Structure formats: structure tokens, C-alpha cells
């Protein structure tokens, strides 16, 4: 990654931390899940409203560090309008990105590519993936709290 791109990504993450998008309980949510990252203390609730297999609305509530909050904010933004299968595929590509198995591909991943730098900070990977693990639990209708440990 060039340092320009790194700066841009850092700015995007800070912006989503300071001004989280979709930080609210979704009216008529039909999928809900809770996640917890004991390593950092991040807690999150994900709310989804699925209509005929498509994410019509997505939101989150919780308290956590900058990375976990920004990740939830960006995730809920990119999810809207996606099918359940597309959301699962996004989970996989995000996971590969932050664990260093794939290079950032903004064309396919959108803003989620901004979290590529997290791979250099193993402690932060769980912060970045918490919202995504919780999303997957919500999609699968699991009511247990997701823990990253």
C-alpha cells in the first residue's frame, strides 16, 4: 500500500469513528445479534431488517474502540441492498483482508478496504472483525452472544 492510500484509509476510519453511520436500533429488525470482544472490551448489537432475502436496513449499538466502532459503521453502510449470500461473501473477503490473506480491492470491497492496515496489528484484528462476526450470527439467526475468543 502506498502511504497516500494509507493516510486516506486512516482518515476514513477516524471519520466513521467520530461520526458513526447507522448507530441506532433498527425499527422492525427481524435479525439481531450481540457480540463481545474480551481482548479489548468492545460490545456490539447488530440489527438487521431482511426483506425477501435482502438487507433493507442495518444498524448497530454498542461501545468500543475506534476500530470496532468504525468497522461497524462502514459495515452497516455497505450492507444495505445486499442479499444474504452477498453479505456472507463480504464477511469472507473482509476476514481475508484483515488477516492478510487478500489484498485490498476497493472496486469489490468498497470502503471496507480501508481496514487493510489492521493486519499489521494482530490485537486489532478482533476489533475490526467483531461487527462482522456478529453480522454472521444475525444472518444465521443465532441468539447466542458472539465472542471473538
Residues binding Zn ion (CB under 5 A): 40, 42, 65, 68, 127
**Minimum CB distance to Zn ion, residue 87 (Å):** 22
> Which residue, 15 or 88, has its beta carbon nearer to Zn ion?
15
Cβ of residue 56: shortest distance to Zn ion, in angstroms? 29
Closer residue to Zn ion (CB): 127 or 146: 127
Q: Closer CB to Zn ion, residue 26 or residue 131?
A: 131
Site of grid cell 445479534: 33
Compute the distance between CA of residue 148 and CA of residue 129 in angstroms, rounded to an integer: 8
Minimum distance of Zn ion from residue 119's CB (angstroms): 15
Q: How far apart are CA 50 and CA 84, in angstroms?
A: 8
Element counts in the chain: helices (H) and strands (E): 5, 4
Q: How far apart are the first and last CA of the chain?
A: 29
Which residues have a Cβ under 8 Å from the Cβ of 50 and sit 6 or more positions away?
30, 31, 56, 84
* Nearest distance in Å: CB 115, Zn ion: 12
For Zn ion, give the closer residue by CB, 50 or 118. 118
Amino acid at each position: 500500500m502506498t502511504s497516500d492510500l494509507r493516510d486516506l484509509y486512516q482518515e476514513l476510519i477516524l471519520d466513521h469513528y467520530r461520526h458513526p453511520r447507522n448507530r441506532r436500533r433498527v425499527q422492525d429488525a427481524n435479525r439481531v445479534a450481540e457480540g463481545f470482544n474480551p481482548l479489548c472490551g468492545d460490545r456490539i448489537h447488530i440489527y438487521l431488517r431482511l426483506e425477501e432475502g435482502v438487507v433493507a436496513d442495518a444498524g448497530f449499538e454498542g461501545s468500543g474502540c475506534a476500530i470496532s466502532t468504525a468497522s461497524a459503521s462502514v459495515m452497516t453502510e455497505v450492507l444495505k441492498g445486499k442479499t444474504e449470500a452477498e453479505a456472507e461473501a463480504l464477511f469472507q473477503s473482509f476476514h481475508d483482508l484483515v488477516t492478510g490473506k487478500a489484498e485490498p480491492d476497493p472496486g469489490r470491497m468498497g470502503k471496507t478496504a480501508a481496514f487493510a492496515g489492521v493486519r499489521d496489528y494482530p490485537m486489532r484484528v478482533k476489533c475490526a472483525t467483531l461487527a462482522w462476526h456478529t453480522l454472521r450470527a444475525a444472518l444465521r439467526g443465532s441468539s447466542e452472544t458472539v465472542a471473538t475468543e
